[in-house]
């Protein structure tokens, strides 16, 4: 059986005129939050999941966005806290 590849942690998305400041992964690496700073100094959190539904087809596996920007913060530390809380809640919902 041809299993899909593990999530590619080396790929950093381009987010217009926002600068990626950090990427936080869920415990199983299947989800991530890209923390990017906008020109206005606000930090935006872009959630993505590792899409393997089209593996091993032509599109392969890739990071796919989860909705639109879900959260804003005034620092990288505050954004990380939001992400940690979000991933914790998601893990609790699985049980």
Please report, for the chain, the start and end positions of each structural domain, with discontinuous segments joined by +: 19-94
**CB-neighbour burial class of residue 51 (10 A; exposed 0-12, middle 13-18, buried 19+):** middle
**What element of type H or E holds 16?**
none
pTM: 0.90
Q: What's the pLDDT tens digit per position in 62-78?
A: 999 998 767 999 999 99
Task: Name the average pLDDT for the chain.
Answer: 92
């Amino acid at each position: 059986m041809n299993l899909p590849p593990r999530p590619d942690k080396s790929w950093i998305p381009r987010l217009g005129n926002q600068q990626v400041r950090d990427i936080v992964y869920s415990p199983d690496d299947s989800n991530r939050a890209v923390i990017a700073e906008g020109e206005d100094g606000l930090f935006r959190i872009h959630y993505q999941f590792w899409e393997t539904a089209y593996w091993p087809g032509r599109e392969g596996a890739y990071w796919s966005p989860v909705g639109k920007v879900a959260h804003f913060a005034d620092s990288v530390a505050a954004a990380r806290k939001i992400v940690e809380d979000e991933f914790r809640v998601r893990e609790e919902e699985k049980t």
